[in-house]
């Protein structure tokens, strides 16, 4: 059998560990208590009004009390059994004073509080030790007032014995209750600490999910527009010698695409900075905001990207010199997260056509099949050898599809081209926060 691990927040009684500063303090305190007891007893003995019959009982009481004080923290089990069993054996005079019960009751409380003994065992042992203090001289030794049955015959004072036994049981019960309360408090503290750690982990995951979402949005918004701008500029540069007018056309187109990129960026920033949106709206309503605030209001109020944005992305690809065969469904009332995913995945797939393919045409098809929506973006290739690699486009597309409960497959086709196929369920709207919640899990 494997040893049972200590309960959280509890200590193993009499564990073999190095002495701590608390143990040293207890030892010094026990020595101080013993010395103080000796001084008090000697001072009282020197007086005329106190002359105990059995002074040894007082010495044993002081010694037992000093042992309890010195060892209660580091060795509760040894303290309990040593005092409960050993103290009555050496006392041997009959109970001289109720004060002499203090070491035994203190040891009983210490043992029960530390969980060194079971409550029932502790109660029985403590009651036995308490009554044993009375035995050597008889249980409450007295002689009957007038009737001499036998000389010095022990008489049992039942009420007194029951009172002492009840007191002993009460002390053990009190120690057990304190032990239970301390154990419960330790459990609660451990659970609170675990909950705090879990909350920190959940917070970290939520922050990571939000950072991923922001990075995905920035990538999809910026990369699509900037890639189209770069490709159009490179194409204009190649034909500038033969067609000077192409430079002017490209410049005008790049200016328009740049404005679209800035508008999309402002919209994204205003979505992420929700607190500033109300300020911008107030400023726009008062007519005191500048052009940037007005643009921010427009971006904040703009509808979220959807299936219609697939057409706009295809148009930008056409303007960059790639013919696009576009097929869109009649229905556009999709769940918001699905509509956003369709738009962003289509944008990213078309951007990849510009960056990684020499194709002069591409196909974009959004097929509504009732409970499932399919998005297909395909180009015949060939692959652009000098195209950059190692980006996060495919990762982001798969994350978007998975967050909506769908899936995405991307890879080369048999004719040397590339195909992206995403499918989404459309029967259960998941809400705008589904992506973050899915990533947080």
CATH number of 306-441: 3.30.565.10
| Residue 253 and residue 230 in contact, taking contact as beta carbons nearer than 8 Å | no
For 63, residues 6+ apart whose C-beta sits below 8 A from its C-beta are: 34
Tell me what pLDDT residue 304 has.
Answer: 65
Tell me what pLDDT residue 434 has.
Answer: 46
| pTM for the model | 0.49
Burial of 255 (0-12, 13-18, 19+ CB in 10 A): exposed
Tell me what pLDDT residue 301 has.
Answer: 45
Instruction: Please name which of 267, 234, 262 lies closest in space to residue 250, comparing C-alpha atoms.
Output: 234
Q: Radius of gyration (Cα) for the chain, nearest Å? A: 44
Tell me what pLDDT residue 258 has.
Answer: 80
Burial of 85 (0-12, 13-18, 19+ CB in 10 A): middle
3-state secondary structure string, 50-82? Answer: CCCCCHHHHHHHHHHHHHHHHHCCCCHHHHHHH
- Mind giving me the DSSP string for 165-180? HHHHHHHHHHHHHHHH
Write out the chain's pLDDT in tens, 441 residues: 444 444 444 444 554 445 566 678 878 887 888 888 888 887 877 777 777 777 778 888 888 888 888 888 888 898 899 889 888 888 877 788 888 898 999 999 999 998 889 999 989 999 988 888 886 644 334 444 344 344 444 555 778 888 989 999 999 999 999 999 999 999 999 999 999 999 999 998 888 887 777 777 777 777 667 777 777 787 777 777 777 777 777 788 788 778 877 877 777 777 666 544 444 444 444 444 444 444 444 444 455 677 888 888 888 888 778 899 998 887 667 888 888 889 889 888 888 887 888 888 999 999 888 888 899 999 998 887 766 555 677 888 888 888 888 999 999 988 888 999 999 998 754 444 444 444 434
How far, in Å, are 12, 115, 131, 161, 429 from residue 122 at the CA level? 17, 10, 14, 18, 64
What residues form DSSP beta bridges with 357?
383
Tell me what pLDDT residue 178 has.
Answer: 93
| Residue 297 and residue 281 in contact, taking contact as beta carbons nearer than 8 Å | yes
Tell me what pLDDT residue 431 has.
Answer: 44
Tell me what pLDDT residue 408 has.
Answer: 93
Tell me what pLDDT residue 352 has.
Answer: 84
Report the relative pairing of strands 361-368 and 323-327 from DSSP bridges: parallel
């Amino acid at each position: 059998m494997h040893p049972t691990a200590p309960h959280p927040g509890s200590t193993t009684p009499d564990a073999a560990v190095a002495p701590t500063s608390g143990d040293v303090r207890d030892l010094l305190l026990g020595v101080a208590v013993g010395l103080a007891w000796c001084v008090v007893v000697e001072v009282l003995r020197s007086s005329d009004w106190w002359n105990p019959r059995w002074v040894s009982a007082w010495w044993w009481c002081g010694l037992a009390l000093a042992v309890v004080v010195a060892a209660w923290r580091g060795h509760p089990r040894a303290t309990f059994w040593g005092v409960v069993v050993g103290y009555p054996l050496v006392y041997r005079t009959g109970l001289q004073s109720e004060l002499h019960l203090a070491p035994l009751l203190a040891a009983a409380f210490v043992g029960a509080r530390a969980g060194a003994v079971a409550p029932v065992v502790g109660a029985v042992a403590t009651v036995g030790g308490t009554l044993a203090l009375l035995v050597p001289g008889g249980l409450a030794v007295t002689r009957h007032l007038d009737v001499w049955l036998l000389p010095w015959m022990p008489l049992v004072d039942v009420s007194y014995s029951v009172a002492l036994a009840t007191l002993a049981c009460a002390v053990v019960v009190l120690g057990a209750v304190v032990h239970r309360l301390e154990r419960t408090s330790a459990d609660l503290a451990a659970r609170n600490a675990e909950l705090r750690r879990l909350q920190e982990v959940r917070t970290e995951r939520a922050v990571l999910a939000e950072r991923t979402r922001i990075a995905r949005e920035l990538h999809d918004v910026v990369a699509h527009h900037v890639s189209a701008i770069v490709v159009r500029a490179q194409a204009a540069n190649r034909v500038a010698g033969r067609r000077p007018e192409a430079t002017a056309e490209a410049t005008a187109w790049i200016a328009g695409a740049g404005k679209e990129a800035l508008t999309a960026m402002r919209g994204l920033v205003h979505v992420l900075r929700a607190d500033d949106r109300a300020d911008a709206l107030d400023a726009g309503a008062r007519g005191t905001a500048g052009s940037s605030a007005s643009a921010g209001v427009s971006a904040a109020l703009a509808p979220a990207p959807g299936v219609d944005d697939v057409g706009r992305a295809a148009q930008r690809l056409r303007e960059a010199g790639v013919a696009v065969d576009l097929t869109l469904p009649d229905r556009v009332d999709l769940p918001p997260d699905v509509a956003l995913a369709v738009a962003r995945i289509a944008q990213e797939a078309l951007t990849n056509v510009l960056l990684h393919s020499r194709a002069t045409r591409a196909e974009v098809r959004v097929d509504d099949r009732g409970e499932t929506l399919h998005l297909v973006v395909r180009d015949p290739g060939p692959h652009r050898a000098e195209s950059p690699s190692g980006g996060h486009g495919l990762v982001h597309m798969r994350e978007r599809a998975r967050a909506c409960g769908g899936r995405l497959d991307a890879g080369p086709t048999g004719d040397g081209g590339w195909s992206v196929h995403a499918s989404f369920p459309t029967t259960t709207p998941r809400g705008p926060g589904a992506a973050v919640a899915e990533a947080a899990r």
